[in-house]
Amino acid sequence: MAAMLRLAAASGADVRFQTPVTRLEPTRAGDGAVAHTDSGIFTAPVIAVAAGAWIAPLLEGVVGLPPLTVTQQQVFHFAPAPGTAAEPWPVFIHFDGAGYRYGLPGGRDGEVAGAIKIGEHAGYRPTTAADRDFVVDPAARARVAEFVAARIPGLAATPVNEVTCLYTWTANEDFILDRRGPFVIASPCSGHGAKFAPLLGEIIADLATGQPAPDPRFTLAAHGVTRA
């Protein structure tokens, strides 16, 4: 993420933090879109809306969306087992018939060298972006720790850090990448968007410049939305 922000700024992007968008609307003249923020109003020919769990409330009454479910997910970081070197690990996905678990390098969030981030790809308590409580589910912690103890001897089975994050799910877990009027709708849903961030940036830029959606399965129509 830091690299992409740096490249965007180097290419002339005006990157602003702590500037929440509170409302979106088309211009009255029909020649663009308006973003209302706490620090001002911005008008542009096209606005790309890639707001994750906030996308539905932002686009309510502006662009029709399919039903979206927001859940609070659980993520745990595990340090290398005592006596184990903090060497690079491969990304992995494990499926045992009951559900998926995934693991990847923990990065800065791991807090210790070589920590691996492990979570379950499953729905947890439904919530909203505004109502999440950030509380880690003890049952999820126990399940993931048990999995680490049984399957990954290279990691200590007690998490060194744990956080929550938000998934925004479509019914079929496919992405939404489409354009309606002056709005590009970018909801790479169901937990997978970050894995494709550079490619998604290219697709979103193409949609903003008038290119068609890259795949019919990602259009709003494919998700059952037939009106603006």
Domain 71-166, CATH = 3.30.9.10
Q: What is the pLDDT along the chain (228 residues), one digit of tens a residue?
A: 888 899 999 999 999 999 999 999 999 999 999 999 988 999 999 999 999 999 999 999 999 999 999 999 999 999 999 988 878 889 999 998 878 999 999 888 888 889 999 999 887 889 999 999 999 999 999 999 999 999 999 999 999 999 999 999 999 999 999 999 999 999 987 777 888 888 999 999 999 999 998 889 999 999 999 865
Q: Which two tokens stand for residue 37?
A: 């923020």
What the block records as the tokens of 25 is 């609307």
Can you tell me which residue has the tokens 């830029």? 205
Provide the residue ranges of all domains of the chain, joining segments of one domain with +.
19-68+172-223, 71-166
pLDDT score for 77: 97
Three-state helix/strand/coil letters over 1-28: CHHHHHHHHHCCCCCCCCCCEEEEEECC
Closest CA to 226 of 63, 68, 111, 112: 63
pTM, two decimal places: 0.88
pLDDT at 61: 95
Query: Are the C-beta atoms of residues 124 and 172 closer than 8 Å to each other?
Result: no
Q: What pLDDT does 110 receive?
A: 82
Q: Show Cβ contacts of residue 150 under 8 Å, excluding neighbours closer than 6 positions.
A: none
- Please list, residue by residue across 123-153, b when 16 or more beta carbons sit within 10 angstroms of its beta carbon and e when fewer do: eeeebebeebeeebbeebeebbbebbeeebe
How is domain 19-68+172-223 classified at the CATH fold level?
A: FAD/NAD(P)-binding domain (3.50.50)
